[in-house]
């Protein structure tokens, strides 16, 4: 069963607010945007419509979850195809949870020579943090709930929902 947590209208307003925060932070400075696939697609597309002064964007894909559980190991499945050496990088995430994947991505981008790395997440679950990381920009801070919609999934299901929902069902039935 799905229970709505954040409406489509709330998402739209918060994305607009985040873009204003990011534009103010970077001012006239250029930067590169890296989105974390797959869940970030809807959020990043909406955000990019209102961001200014970014040079280009690309994606990184990392996997550390199977169903609702993190494996603790992060595998980079897709690397960005752009040069980030000496550049400011804005990493856009759908959700920041344990911090394991975000820290692995940060380490990866540091090894590629990023000048500065900033994180923007639509949802933050600090109560689940195992590895320390704090987003520079955050849409919403939520409790330890399993959420789907607006790109977030459970085993590839529910991504296309336009709002954020709490998955309140016995997930073994999916």
Selected catalytic residue, list 46, 94, 97, 124: 97
From residue 156, give the alpha-carbon distance in Å to each of 37, 69, 143, 151, 174.
Answer: 12, 14, 22, 9, 11
Q: Is 97 a catalytic residue?
A: yes
Of the candidates 144, 165, 163, which has an alpha carbon nearest to the alpha carbon of residue 68?
144
Whole-Å CA distances, 109 to 10, 22, 32, 129: 32, 20, 12, 21
- The three-class DSSP label of residue 115 is coil
* The two three-digit tokens of residue 35, written as one number: 């989105």
User: How large is the angle between the packed helices 8-26 and 41-48, nearest 10 degrees?
Assistant: 60
What's 36's DSSP letter? Answer: E
130 phi/psi in degrees, rounded to 5? -105, -45
Which residues are part of the catalytic machinery? 97
């Amino acid at each position: 069963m799905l229970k709505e947590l954040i409406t489509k209208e709330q998402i739209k307003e918060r994305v607009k607010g985040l873009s204003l925060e990011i534009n103010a932070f970077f001012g006239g400075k250029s930067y590169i945007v890296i989105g974390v696939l797959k869940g970030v697609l809807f959020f990043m597309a909406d955000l990019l419509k209102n961001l200014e002064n970014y040079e280009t964007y690309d994606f990184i894909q990392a996997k550390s979850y199977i169903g609702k559980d993190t494996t603790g190991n992060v595998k980079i499945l897709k690397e960005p195809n752009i040069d980030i050496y000496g550049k400011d990088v804005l990493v856009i995430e759908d959700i920041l949870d344990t911090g394991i994947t975000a820290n692995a991505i940060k380490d990866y981008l540091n090894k590629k020579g990023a000048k500065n790395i900033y994180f923007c997440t639509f949802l933050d679950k600090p109560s689940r943090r195992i590895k320390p990381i704090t987003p520079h920009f955050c849409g919403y801070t939520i409790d330890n709930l399993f959420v789907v919609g607006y790109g977030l999934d459970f085993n590839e299901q529910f991504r296309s929902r336009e709002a954020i929902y709490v998955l309140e069902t016995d997930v073994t039935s999916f």
